[in-house]
Structure 1
Amino acid sequence: MERNDDAARTVFAQWLRDRLEERGYDLGVRGGGQTKFAEDSGIGRATISRMLRGTQGSTDTRTLELLATALRIPLVEVLVQAGVLTPNELAAVQAPNPGTRQLTPEEAADELGITDEHARRMFISMVRTLQQPPGADPDRATGS
């Protein structure tokens, strides 16, 4: 996504650094916090290092999902912080304008031209997750 320009990556890097330090990860030169978080989250240490330096903005939803799970933060918050969604886009997905016909996730995928089966399944699952009210069971959205 184009939203992950240098400024956005820097903001995301600081946000991530703050969340990790709040949870006790020592991100000092010899603190071992990056390695420990990599182990705890299942995200590669190099990826975490790049995100913390602001040299990689992550729009890979699987990585962001692992990040949200490890930090015990709602995925939607991570998606907004990472620049995948704007707050306005999130609000529109969660509470569409009354009186307008809401597209199904499948129709939205069609409209966006998402034809790759894997990408399509991920997109549909992500939309269903985002449509849930905060605190809802995420497994209900995916049918797991």
Structure 2
Amino acid sequence: MERTTRATPHQFAAWLHDQLTRRGYDLRPRGGGQTRFADDSRIGRATISRILSGQGATDTRILALLSEALRLPLGEVLVRAGILDESELRAVQDPTPGSRRITPEQAADELGIDDGQSRRLFISMTETLQRTPPPNHGEGRAAER
């Protein structure tokens, strides 16, 4: 099975910084943007600061709150955070017709995810994505442009 590269915490930080500045949050020192986004997203300011400094985020609750606050599909946030890569997201959201269905635990085994925390996170996110219909590509994007 070919593996694709996942985003790093620093890439996630750069992506989130871009998302926030595009939405009008002033992230300069003393700009107040981190505090304002923390309030708007219901995520602690310290957590926002850690993510923006490249320390990453793997807590499913935080990633779901980011998804909601940014009005982006959870799957996109998971890919940007490096939890999933694009091919894993597609496979979870839209399995190939006629392909064998496997459980999230079996998928973690096949992907070689054996670290306890990473495994629990993967299984939780996979279960969430299986309950979430694939996004309507292009929908909601016109408003951002």
What range describes the TM-score normalised by the shorter chain of this pair? 0.7 to 0.9
TM-score, structure 1 as length reference: 0.73
Count of residue correspondences: 123
- Aligned-residue sequence identity (percent) comes to 53
Gaps of 5+ in 1: 114-118, 136-144
Which aligned pairs between 1:96-107 and structure 2 lie closer than 5 A? 96-103=95-102, 107=103
What is the RMSD computed on CA atoms of the aligned residues? 2.7
Matches of 1:39 and 1:67, distance apart in 2: 12
Residue number in structure 2 paired with 1:26: 26
Query: Which aligned segments of 4 or more residues in structure 1 are displaced greater than 2 angstroms?
Result: 107-113, 119-125, 127-130
Report the Cα offset of residue 100 of structure 1.
Answer: 1.7
C-alpha change, 1:95 and 1:122, in structure 2 (3 Å) is: closer
Matches of 2:107 and 2:88, distance apart in 1: 17
Which aligned pairs between 1:63-82 and structure 2 lie closer than 5 A? 63-82=62-81
Query: What is the DSSP-based 3-state SS (H/G/I as helix, E as strand, rest coil) of the residue aligned with 1:70?
Result: helix
Query: What is the DSSP-based 3-state SS (H/G/I as helix, E as strand, rest coil) of the residue aligned with 1:92?
Result: helix
> Are the equivalent residues in 2 in contact too, given 1:109–1:123 (CA < 8 A)?
no
Matches of 2:108 and 2:73, distance apart in 1: 25
Residue number in structure 2 paired with 1:141: none
Matches of 2:98 and 2:106, distance apart in 1: 22
Matches of 1:22 and 1:128, distance apart in 2: 30
Which aligned pairs between 1:37-116 and structure 2 lie closer than 5 A? 37-54=37-54, 56-103=55-102, 107-109=103-105, 112=108
Higher relative contact order (CA 8 A, sep 6+): 2
Deviations 1:35-66 (A, max 9, x none): 00000001110110011111x21111110000
TM-score, structure 2 as length reference: 0.72
Report the Cα offset of residue 98 of structure 1.
Answer: 3.0
Matches of 2:91 and 2:107, distance apart in 1: 17
